[in-house]
Chains A and B, each alone.
Chain A
Amino acid sequence: GDSVTQMEGPVTLSEEAFLTINCTYTATGYPSLFWYVQYPGEGLQLLLKATKADDKGSNKGFEATYRKETTSFHLEKGSVQVSDSAVYFCALSEGTGGFKTIFGAGTRLFVKA
């Protein structure tokens, strides 16, 4: 079945450091890919998404490119801030007649001032 694997955390960075959180997926078809972010004590919110191969999703300085050849959707940001501290979830969705979203286990990011 479909699955999402993302790097284990926690990831601890200093402010202004470069961030990469790896995500790879397994799917039978051509899924849409998402990154969601969860701030402490809150629900998830969409960070960015990509719907087809070579698409790049971007938002708030974060980027991820849909790489079909490597089945990956790595999240990157050039310069993190303390306010980026959160848990990041990679996810995929595909299918017809009822879409199920598969979430990765989440990667916790701590950014130190």
Chain B
Amino acid sequence: DGGITQSPKYLFRKEGQNVTLSCEQNLNHDAMYWYRQDPGQGLRLIYYSQIVNDFQKGDIAEGYSVSREKKESFPLTVTSAQKNPTAFYLCASSMEREAADTQYFGPGTRLTVL
């Protein structure tokens, strides 16, 4: 079954700790994305990657870091520099051959800072 997996589903972090969210896809997609979703708001782009070993900042990259060492994997680290990290985090992927390409989303990780 092809798709995107994110783990864990729920994550709790103490203030001052870094935490890494996992995202894996077996769709053979070139592009991968990380979004943040807050209640009542749309999705905001954190980082995206169009190819292995390359990634670009999105609209709200401060306090986050990513890596893209493998095509299938795009982990997101929420650092202690992120002032308000409690949110729902969504990973997505697409072929990114043209603007009409659909984005496929994982089930999300809900991060809560205690």
Contact = CB atoms under 8 A, between A and B. Distances in A.
Interface of A: 4, 31-32, 34, 36, 41-46, 49, 51, 89, 93-95, 98-101, 103-106
Contact of A104 (B42, B45, B96, B99): B42
A41 B50 CA distance: 27
Contacts of A100: 45, 48, 58
A36 B43 CA distance: 12
Contact of A98 (B6, B50, B90): B50
Contacts of B42: 4, 89, 103-106
B22 to A, nearest CB: 14
Interface residues of B, number: 27
22 contacts: A32-B99, A32-B100, A36-B103, A42-B107, A43-B90, A43-B108, A44-B43, A44-B90, A46-B102, A46-B104, A51-B100, A93-B99, A93-B100, A94-B99, A98-B48, A99-B98, A99-B101, A100-B45, A101-B103, A104-B42, A106-B40, A106-B41
B56 interface: yes
Contacts of A104: 42
A49 B103 contact: no
Nearest to A51: B100
A101 B100 CA distance: 10
A57 to B, nearest CB: 11
B99 A45 contact: no
Interface string B21-53: 000000000010000000011110100101000
Contacts of A42: 107-108
Nearest to B50: A98
A99 B102 CA distance: 11
Interface in B56-113: 56, 58, 90, 92, 94, 96, 98-108
B51 to A, nearest CB: 10
Contact of B105 (A43, A51, A95): A43
